[in-house]
Amino acid sequence: MSETPTLPPIVAAIRESRRALARLLTRIENNAAAADLAALYPHGGKAHLIGVTGAPGTGKSSLVNSMAKAYRAEGKTVSILAVDPTSPFSGGAVLGDRIRMRDLHGDAGVFIRSMATRGNLGGIARTTADMIRALDAAAFDVILIETVGAGQSEVEIASAAHTTLVVEAPGLGDDVQAIKAGILEIADILVVNKADNPGVESTLRALRAMLDLGHRAERIMHHGQLMSVPAAAVVGEDEAWQTPIVQTVATNGTGIGGLLAKIAEHRAYLRESGVQTLRERASLNAEISERLRELLLARLIERVGVARLQALIERAILREIDPSSAAALLLAEGVQE
């Protein structure tokens, strides 16, 4: 982690001190790091971001630990961001932190942070993305983003990663498989962990069948619109990434080397195909638009007054005006030109 005298103070601080980094992440969680994030941004973009998602019981946390150890053995610095978006109101369990601590504690090249949920899904996705930017500016080579669960939330969070791993395990039952049909479409690499367990053959068969049906989707900009299209439509049928299935036994390290090789291959694909830039463009478009929406709304409410909004809500409760007309009215009142 090199330092140059031209670095902004916050970047120098988080590259030098784990404590400064931890404090910055807390400020990000509390939405109090806007200026820092702007200063960090030019100094990021070098880390490889790896999303790891899958249902509880797949051994995701052990896999993440094994991967971290393998990257460390290659001399790479690693940070792990564990996000639990399953409990929308009260924050979820902290992900396998005890195991993690035992395995990785004391290695200065590894930094671990857990985030229980706060606020709505959009807020979690935003906070996660900002935290990743901080870890990226702190010059980690690899950032592992671990999410628990198998729903839309994971799709949102995984979309911040360059390479997304979806973890399965034998014997979790058909129900879990059914939930994950959508998740497969975001998988760059499928990992069957606990591959020494009975039933691994039927899990592999089920996953191969699903891969035959579905396709990795890419989110791109098309005529100024964000669209989700099959990857083959972006880079051509022959060049499109074929989602591989990798078998691992995280607890004894089996298959981890092969997994890291596949991840490196995917990283090269993203760069050579131009897909990485397409994704960045789509994701920046979504982020800038979202920030603009918030700024514009705050400005409008300031102009018309929150009491005016509340009065229209009361009229809508009485069914005197519909919500869409109420919004149009507030717009007209707020943008007197």
Residues 34-73 that bind a copy of itself (CB under 8 A): 34, 37-38, 40-45, 55-57
Cβ proximity to a copy of itself, 155 vs 263, nearer residue: 155
Query: How many residues belong to the site for a copy of itself (CB under 8 A)?
Result: 83
Question: Within 13 A of 186's CA, how many CA atoms are on the CB side?
Answer: 27
Closest CA to 212 of 243, 240, 182, 190: 243
Cβ proximity to a copy of itself, 4 vs 75, nearer residue: 4
Cβ proximity to a copy of itself, 34 vs 99, nearer residue: 34
Cβ-based burial of 18 (10 A; exposed 0-12, middle 13-18, buried ≥19): exposed
User: Of the candidates 104, 155, 192, 207, which one interacts with a copy of itself according to CB under 8 A?
Assistant: 155
Q: Is 31 in the site for a copy of itself (CB under 8 A)?
A: no
User: Of the candidates 106, 173, 198, 201, which one interacts with a copy of itself according to CB under 8 A?
Assistant: 173
Q: Which long-range contacts (CB under 8 A, 24 or more apart) does 157-161 make?
A: 157/51, 157/53, 157/83, 157/85, 157/124, 157/125, 157/128, 158/51, 158/53, 158/186, 159/186, 159/219, 159/283, 160/49, 160/51, 160/125, 160/128, 160/129, 160/132, 160/283, 161/49, 161/50, 161/51
Q: Which of residues 104-123 bind a copy of itself (CB under 8 A)?
A: 121
Q: Which helix (H) or strand (E) holds 191?
A: strand 189-192
Q: Which of residues 74-103 bind a copy of itself (CB under 8 A)?
A: 85-90, 92-93
In the complex, what is the shortest distance from the CB of residue 288 to a copy of itself, in angstroms, rounded to a whole number?
Answer: 5
Cβ proximity to a copy of itself, 108 vs 317, nearer residue: 317
Cβ proximity to a copy of itself, 179 vs 245, nearer residue: 179
Phi and psi dihedrals of 253, rounded to 5?
Answer: 85, 0
Mask of contacts with a copy of itself, 250-289, x by CB under 8 A?
---------------------------x--xx--xx-xxx
In the complex, what is the shortest distance from the CB of residue 111 to a copy of itself, in angstroms, rounded to a whole number?
Answer: 22
What is the spatial distance between Cα 140 and Cα 13, in angstroms, rounded to a whole number? 14
Q: Which stretch binds a copy of itself (CB under 8 A): 9-17, 108-116, 150-158, 195-203?
A: 150-158
Contact between 96 and 112 (Cβ < 8 Å): no
Q: Which stretch binds a copy of itself (CB under 8 A): 10-18, 66-74, 196-204, 216-224?
A: 216-224
